[in-house]
Structure 1
């Protein structure tokens, strides 16, 4: 009895292929229908072709190319097996390479953009002084991770930090920087050795990458965790420090610092004594109220300071912009001096 003929649609549903796929495999010679109507071109299939079709479906899902399918379908068992085994080995190798590549991409995504080394130029003696100033806040136990000094570079400059978890010392040094922010932690012996070297370098170039600080070809530091000092400082109230000193000592200090000019800021109306010179007369006429700012030569400032009542002046240092504010203790707030930073921008 002849086997029943199935239309292309019925056969496609039976074997899990589409009619268009059956037409394609007919054209490739992989799955030729049992009959083709010469008048209509309709294709008809017999049930015995279902096994061959399902084998094609399996190879299609595995991505087997047409030529390998042809060998598997039309060759002896040994040859067919060798062909499909070779295909599997090739696919396994491809999968392993793809997995390795994808893991590399994932690692790069997790790491984010590659950090650029932080580079900054700073006077060597200034950085040396900062290292020596903060190191006394470090832990004294050599086994502690905090027996160290942090050198942290960001867009504003360099922070030099030490802490033993009970108190913290920070020096912030303004400097032009390049690259991304970076930090390096130096052990106390390293920090002391670096300070000695920096004393002899007028302008030192610091380069920090992957926790390593490079100065003049020497690599120092280690990439390790360190307290986030900026978060600690951000949580503090603005600092204010006051000191009272003799007016003569202040003037002597200004002379020793060799300031050519000082910037005078009047917090309230200044009460100046009767002027003795035309310069002082002009000065008195310009201090009409609080908020006035004046730039005076040091010699003229000597005379201005002499108009403060009493022989002592008060210093107040605020953390916001670090001015030194000088007022008379007898009339607080009447006269304030913003110490200039033109002479030593790192100090």
Structure 2
């Protein structure tokens, strides 16, 4: 190859983002040999065609991929390379989570601070409650607390709460043993979700608080530790206290409502409530409304939701029937079991699609 078509190692290093010493290392390891080596001076020269391989090599090393795996990716087809990348990232994430949990465990015992007993709960009941309430969490940049679950223990009950700002879910549990004292904290939702499987297999779980975390103590199984989040949880009690009076109430089969939502076209759900029940309507004239067998009391009302907000709120409800407590077209709707009051979800409506500016009515 003519020398005019080649780059000396310094120029190639600058264009590829790799240092000259790294290029020598990758040449010696066989990952990126130079296009030509001057037999007299030993100078190394690279071709422009090698820039893509060099750039990908650098990027793979930046995500801490071992050399053997880097070589496999570089020499594989697109499908195999993608699979190898997915496997590597899964391992990195798993190792990071394990290290994070181990660090939290170490911090929990530093200084030999004794744990604080919070409550004793039935494992399957607690696991179900955790999974139900966690449906209202969200991962949002700059707001890690929205991915957490708030636990509040009083002398009579333990309350779990989560919110993604457009939906709020809360469930109250009666402990197997009365809590010895009041306590509250926001637990990392991802770690709690992972712990739920172990909690579910235990007939009784004792919850204990330590600095920066809580322990779930289970007899005959591995105890699970979850980190506490330091950010302030949204003041949902203030929002609940400011809710207006319920003006319209609907009771409908959960299965029937969910099936109608699944078959409903579009991303916006309209509920038209009248004295004969509720009708699920569309934002256009091409799809007629779907009347549901239901009961309704109070003034007629039309209210709109995003499917991604309303469907999971209904899906998480307990029991065969759900009750919708409506306060107006621009006020949160309360979705709860028609015969059990320990789990409640609030969902924010949106402006009517005909306004050509569909936005959530955030609290």
Q: TM-score range by the shorter chain?
A: 0.3 to 0.5
- After TM superposition, the score normalised by the length of structure 1 is 0.35
- After TM superposition, the score normalised by the length of structure 2 is 0.34
